[in-house]
Amino acid sequence: MRRLKYFALAGYACVALVMLIMGSVFLTATEFFPYHAVAAGLEWGEVEPGLQTVLLAVFRICGAGWLTVAVALVLLLVFPFGRRDEVWSYFAIPLLSLIFWGITFATTLYIARTTPATPPWTGSLVCIGITLLSALLSGLSRKKTA
């Protein structure tokens, strides 16, 4: 049923939008986030200037990663999934998303467990859930049209 595929498309698009937003946040950051300060036990102004430069460079690289995966997802959603209904895209989209969000979730959860910081790990878990639900819906839509 096409409706299930549209719901899946909307779910995947929401996940890609979150990635675009987070990529922009990381690319434009001028200091680390409050939970980073708690984890490090230092305020941004207490960090040596050289280390500030390194941390901001890492933020730019992270932002580039967020944006790269988001653009890849959008392109997959528009062309092989949306327009051409290619079977491989039904596997590639959730796989790409789950690899990215799984690592993001594990990393933020590690910070939460090993420091007094409260990183936003729940956001990653929500995106994993939306990805899994979208994969289920797209798979069901494929079976009903086959």
For the entire predicted model, the pTM comes to 0.93
Total domain count, the chain: 1
Residue range of the domain that includes 108: 2-145
In whole angstroms, give the CA distance from residue 33 to residue 119.
Answer: 9
Only one residue has tokens 């910081």, namely 117
| CA 23, chain centre distance (Å) | 9
pLDDT tens-digit series, residues 36-66? 999 999 999 999 999 999 999 999 999 999 9
Residue 16 has which token pair? 């890609």
Asked if 9 contacts 131 with a C-beta cutoff of 8 angstroms, the reply is no
Query: What's residue 143's pLDDT?
Result: 75
Query: What's residue 142's pLDDT?
Result: 84
End-to-end CA distance of the chain: 10
pLDDT tens-digit series, residues 25-43? 999 999 999 999 999 999 9
